[in-house]
Amino acid sequence: MEEQKKGWSRRKFLQASALGMTGLAVLPGMIGCAKPELNIGFIGLGRQGMFLLDGFMHIPGVTAVAACDVYGIKRKRFERRVNAFYTKAGKSVKVDTYEKYGDLLKREDIQAVVIAVPDHSHAYIAIAALKAGKDVYLEKPMTFTIKEGQELRKVVRETGRIFGLGSQQLNMPINIILTEH
């Protein structure tokens, strides 16, 4: 009862912060660097990939510069959305799209990738991205098997890259309400 009188509870504040700043929570060290610009690529342009794109594009210093998906229509949708966003913001950005994620991972100007592909591909694409020197934000589930999880952990440790796993549903308002009662 006392927490309600004070306004937001600590739990509500933390949950709201996590929901609104997903991208910042994943890449905190990169944003605060002397060079504030962080170029990111997106692997997987379905509904979740586009949702994450909208969130990441609004983070100051983060620029979406490339994406990959096997479907051409999704690549075109990405290009239109990114170009419209940066045009409105008065920022000139060259955006490239690829059919194969390996082509995106070869780019040296991309420091991090957001992976939102079908679940069975998560582990091996994340491992390839880490080995290519990219920081990774991966949608859940992280892996399908214990062996994949062990391999992913090993590669994260070997490469020293930043690895973040998305689980936004835990911070959705409906789940916050349900967990407080």
pLDDT tens by residue, 42-64: 999 888 888 888 888 888 888 89
Is the per-residue pLDDT at 108 higher than 90?
Answer: yes
Q: Which CATH class is domain 36-180?
A: alpha beta
Task: Identify the band that residue 19 occupies on the pLDDT scale cut at 50, 70 and 90.
Answer: very low
**What pLDDT, on a 0 to 100 scale, did the predictor assign at position 4?**
44
Any idea which residue has 């967990």 for tokens? 179
Per DSSP, the residues of 57-117 read HTSTTEEEEEEE-S-HHHHHHHHHHHHHHHHHTT-----EEESSHHHHHT-TT--EEEE--
Task: Quickly state the pLDDT bin for 146 (edges 50, 70, 90).
Answer: confident
Measured between alpha carbons, how far is 67 from 98 in angstroms, rounded to an integer? Answer: 6
Model-level pTM? 0.72
Sheet containing 38-43: order of strands = 96-98, 62-68, 38-43, 112-115, 135-139, 163-166
Banded pLDDT at 118 (limits 50, 70, 90): low
Amino acid at 137: Y
Mean pLDDT of 163-173: 68
Please tell me which of 5-9, 67-71, 172-176 the model is most confident about, judged by mean pLDDT.
67-71
Please give the pLDDT value at position 120.
66
Domain boundaries, the chain: 36-180
